Amino acid sequence: MDPAVSPCAITAVGIATALGIGVDATWPRLVAGDQSRLTVRDDLVPGKRMLVGQVVEPLAKIPPSLTRYACRNNALSLTALESIDAEVRRVIDRVGPRRVGVVMGSSTSGVESAETAIATRLASGALAAAFDYVQLEMGGVSEFVAARLGVTGPSYTISTACSSGAKAVVAGRSLLTLGACDAVIAGGADSLCRLTANGFTALGAVADEPSNPFSVNRRGLTLGEGAALFVLERWAAGVEVLGAGESSDAFHMSSPDPDGRGAECAMRDALADAGLAPGDVAYVNLHGTGTPLNDAMESHAIARVFGASVPCSSTKPLVGHTLGASGAVELAFSWMVLARRERGTLTLPPHCWDGVPDPDLASLSLVRKGDRAAVAGRPAILSNSFGFGGNNCAVVLGIR
C-alpha cells in the first residue's frame, strides 16, 4: 500500500457557522479570533436578549422534490454540503452510490420547525401545512442528505448531545474500516431553537456576554448553530482520522464527572488508537464551553494527559456552542489547521477570553492570536467533545 494513503482520509470539508460558509471564508476569521459575527436574538427566550452564533448568510434552498425535509437544520446541512458539491460528486461517480454511506450527528434536528407548527396549531387548530414529522425525527437529517445525494449505502443519525458530530465521524470511519462503504459523508448539524435556548437558560448555563472559557470570570456558554460535513474515503491521500476514543461518565444527566475521568479515558484511548504519545500532539481543540463544571474537569483531564505545555484553545467563543454539530464543527477547524499548514508550522485558532485564569483550574497553554506551532514529522491534533449524560469523544487528526 502507498504510505501516503490512509484507510480514512478526509478529502473535503463543508462548513456553515457564524464565521461564514465554506472553508475559504471561515479560515481567516477563525485564526483572527473574529467574534464580530455573533448576533443578538430577542425571540428565543421571553424577556431576554440572547447573544448567539447564528448563520446569517442565506441558506441553500431545499429542492422541491424534497420539500417534506424542509427545515432549518436540513438547510444548514445542505449549505455545508453544497460548498463541497464538486468533491462529493467526484467521489460518488468514482465508487458508485451503493458504496457511499451517510452518518450525521444532531441533537435538535428540526425542533425549530416543530415549534412553528405547534404555534400554528394552537392559533388555528391545524399544524402548519409545511410541517412533516420527518423534519423532527433524528434520522431525518441523514435521510435527507442521502436522498439529496442519491446514495444508498448505510445511513443513520447519532444523537449523543454535544458529542454527536464527533461520534458521527468516528462511526463513518468504522464503516470504512469494516469495508461496508468506500466513502462516507459524515458530520453534524444543529439549528437554534426556543426549546434549547429556554432549556439552557433554565439550567443557568447561558452567559449574557460571549463565553469566556477557563476564566475565573466565566459565566456560561454562548449558544450557536451550524453544520460541518466531511468526505471520508478509503485509501485516499489527505488529512486522516488517526484515532478515536469514546467513553461514558455514567455520572449525571447534565453534569460531567468533576474529576474528568471519562474525558481523560477518551483522550488516552484516542492516542492509543492513533499509536501516538501525548508529546506527538501539536494542538488540542478544547471542548471549552465556558461553564464552571465543564471547564474545571477538562482542565484537570488535559493536565493529566498532556501536562501544561500543549497549545490549547476553545473555538466556541467564535461560533457559540453548536451542540450536536459542535464535534463536527471543531473537527473541521482542526482539519483546517492541518490542511493550511505552511513550511512545518501550524497556525492555531486563538483562545478568546479575558485573560484572567481561575486558580482552581489546572494551568493550560492557551493559544494567543498569531501563535504558531512548529511540527516535525507527522503533525497531529486532538479535538475533544463532551456531551450531556457523560458522552465523551476525543478524535485525533493527522497527516502521514
Residue 26 phi/psi, 5-degree rounding, is -75, -45
Exposure b/e, 129-158, CB count within 10 A at least 16 = b: eebbebbbebebbbbbbbbbbebebbbebb
Q: Distance (Å, rounded) from C-alpha 48 to C-alpha 41? A: 8
Among the listed residues 8, 71, 300, 321, the single catalytic one is 321
**237: which strand partners?**
5
**243: which strand partners?**
396
321 is catalytic: yes
**224: which strand partners?**
53
Exposure b/e, 245-280, CB count within 10 A at least 16 = b: bbbebeeeeebbbeebbbbbbbbbbbbebbebebeb
Q: Distance (Å, rounded) from C-alpha 242 to C-alpha 53? A: 30
Inter-residue contact 247 to 269 (CB < 8 Å): yes
Q: Distance (Å, rounded) from C-alpha 109 to C-alpha 104? A: 10
Among the listed residues 193, 265, 287, 352, the single catalytic one is 287
Of 289, 135, 281, 269, nearest in space to 211 by CA: 289
Among the listed residues 8, 71, 162, 193, the single catalytic one is 162
287 is catalytic: yes
- Reading the block at residue 323, the C-alpha cell is 451542540
Active site residues: 162, 287, 321
